[in-house]
Each structure stands twice: as C-alpha cells, then as structure tokens.
Structure 1
C-alpha cells in the first residue's frame, strides 16, 4: 500500500516514480546494512545499445515499455556485493550507513539517465518534508502533523533523480500502510544525489 502524493506527476516524473516503486519492491523486507545505489537507464536506449545486456537485466520482458522513451530500467550497482554486504571489502559495506557518504563515492555509468539510492535511516536524524499536499514545509519524521512517518522505527527510503533535475522519493511508514511518496521528501539526500549526477559524464 502507498500514500498518494499531491506533487505533480508529468510523464518524466511518472516514469521516475515507477522506477522508485520497482526498486522499493525489489528490496522490500531485505536488510540494508549499507546504502545501495541503482543506475536508472532508459529502457529503449539500453536495448538499442546492448540487446544482450538488456536481456540479462530483464528489459526484454518489459514488452511495450521497451519502446517507451521515458521508461526506466533500474540497474543495481551493488549486485556483486549483495551476497557479502557485511564484508568490508564490498563496495556497499565500505560506504557505511551514511547515504551522503555513499553518494560521494557514486560512480554512475555513462548509460545512466539518473540514479537512485536506497537506505534505512534513523528517525529524527534527517529533514523530511512533512506533507507533499502542504507545500515545501520540512521537519523530522516524529513531528509530522498526520503521523505518517512515526518516530522510533527505522525509515526505509528510496530517493531517485534524473540528470534534468526531476526527483522522486518513497519513505516507508514503518507499518502496514506502506510508502509515502513525493518529489523530494528528503531534500538533503535529493540535492546530494542531483549533485553527483550533474558532475557525472
């Protein structure tokens, strides 16, 4: 279950939002000892550039989406480290639990139209928008007016951005109600992610 956002959803943002939910569902219930990075590639460009790679990543199963110029295929940049995430030798574990530190070492491939970061955050430690429907007010998860982001539980977050500046986020409520969605629910992480994409390529 997700909570609908009141942020505008034009076509590029809708494509990014779909990729965010795909990443969130892929890692749902999985432990995250360190942030994970995903490159977001345009599915049509990915298939045109490398049909074999597209097949390996499952892009050929997207059907009509493979010909959608906006559709995004998430590529897990830490997949090789997932089996040994607790090892200091793995890229994911070496970054520690700080998403900003993880983004400092981000190395986006040339095919990336954007990127995403997934991590678990301690409640109250980050600035979180208090409600997409209420404008750009910010606060901590513990002081949201509607209680959508309860304190006392780790927050599973997915923050994504495109090189053109489009952003989208999903923050898990910590209960059965699922994710809260919005354009920049975690502005600090969104800004840092955009900065890495702006400096890449």
Structure 2
C-alpha cells in the first residue's frame, strides 16, 4: 500500500539513464544491474504492491555452495556469472514479519555473512514540498488528504546496498510507467539507503 511522504523520498537528482559503466566499480555495476533487474521484475506485477525484500549474493559463491543452482539459471546468466566475479543473484525473501511500516520492518532484519547485500522495493506517495507543508498533522486525516491531492505522485522505489559499500537506486513513477523513464543513481533515496545498510551491520 502507498504510504505518506514521511518515509524516505527520492531526491531530485535522479537520472533516467544510468551513468557510464566506465565510471563505476565492478561492485557498483553489478549492483546497478541487479537493482534494475529487480525493479523490472516487480514492475511486471503492476502497482499497489506490497514491500518486497531481496537478499543479494555473489552468483559464483552461490554456485560453489549449491552447484544445482546452475540448472535454474539461463545460459546467458550463467556465462555472465562465470565471467564477472561480482555478478549478483537476487533471492526474494518470503514470509516477512508483520510491521506497521517499512522502517520498522527493516530495523528488524539482519543477514548472515554469506549475504553480500540487500535490496527492497516499496511504493510511496510524494508531494511537492509546498503541498506537503499543508498536509494535516493528524495521521487519520493525512492519508485521505494525501491520496486525494491533485499533485500527488505515486512512485516505486528499488534500492540496493552491498556490504562493501556500493549503493544503487531506481525510481519509477506511475505517471511515466515505462522502462526508459526509470530514474537511477547511487544516492537517489538516501534515507532508505541508510536503513538498508543498517541491516547488514
């Protein structure tokens, strides 16, 4: 369900095209690829979706630990994983604990050392700052007011972090719901990046 803009919001620095791969570290390139793949996968299910959480593991290490995984991968994915040590596989987490909001959910998560990173997708409703300043302070009044506001924007956030420090974000708006209109960057949603990083410590 969409939530109020009290949660981390996209910064205006989002770019619709990813930076040149020559400017990124191998870990950041791999994470950017994984986050884009996760966002695209989630987008195929449509809007008004629940929060989804994914563990990220290096594919080579996953194959070494469980060789049978190779049979589940597309040949092109397997070849990419064999050629790129930082190639990542995302594993969606089922049975997430009940939580009143995304921040509480993330605060209750932790990961074993075998997990190299984590990604999350979530939907948000955001407003221009001037409109947000007029939002009622009573939560029971704020949500109906927000959902009815003509300047509201529905956005889907896909954010990933790695233990080694790399971060990547992708943001899609419902008003521009096409793959070539997805904003991307390493720090587009800094609050959510920080919350995810805390789950890996």
CA deviation vs aligned residue, 1:39-94 (integer Å, no higher than 9, x gap): 110011110111124544x376513222121100111012xxxxxxxxxxx426x2
Runs of 4 or more consecutive aligned structure 1 residues displaced over 6 Å after TM superposition: none
Aligned pairs for 1:115-130 within 5 A:
115-124=118-127
1:99–1:189 Cα contact (<8 Å) kept: no
Structure index of larger Rg: 2
Moved more, 173-182 or 69-78: 173-182
Inter-CA distance 170–164: structure 2 relative to 1 (3 Å threshold): same
Inter-CA distance 75–32: structure 2 relative to 1 (3 Å threshold): farther
Match of 2:194 in 1: 191
Q: Which runs of 5+ in 2 are unaligned?
A: 1-14, 133-149
2:70–2:78 Cα contact (<8 Å) kept: no
Measured in 2, the distance between the counterparts of 1:114 and 1:59 equals: 22
Other structure's SS at 2:197 match: helix
Among candidates 103, 107, 110, match of residue 100 of structure 1: 103
Match of 1:85 in 2: none
Measured in 1, the distance between the counterparts of 2:122 and 2:177 equals: 19
Q: TM-score, normalised by structure 1?
A: 0.70
Measured in 2, the distance between the counterparts of 1:9 and 1:151 equals: 35
Q: Which runs of 5+ in 1 are unaligned?
A: 79-89, 125-138, 144-149
Inter-CA distance 59–194: structure 2 relative to 1 (3 Å threshold): farther
Report how far residue 173 of structure 1 moved.
2.7
Moved more, 26-35 or 186-195: 26-35
* Alignment size in residue pairs: 162
- Which of 1 and 2 has higher RCO (CA within 8 Å, sep 6+)? 2
Match of 1:153 in 2: 153
Report how far residue 11 of structure 1 moved.
1.9
Aligned-residue CA RMSD (Å): 2.7
1:119–1:158 Cα contact (<8 Å) kept: yes
Aligned pairs for 1:26-65 within 5 A:
26-30=41-45, 31=47, 33-56=49-72, 58=73, 62-65=77-80
Report how far residue 5 of structure 1 moved.
4.0
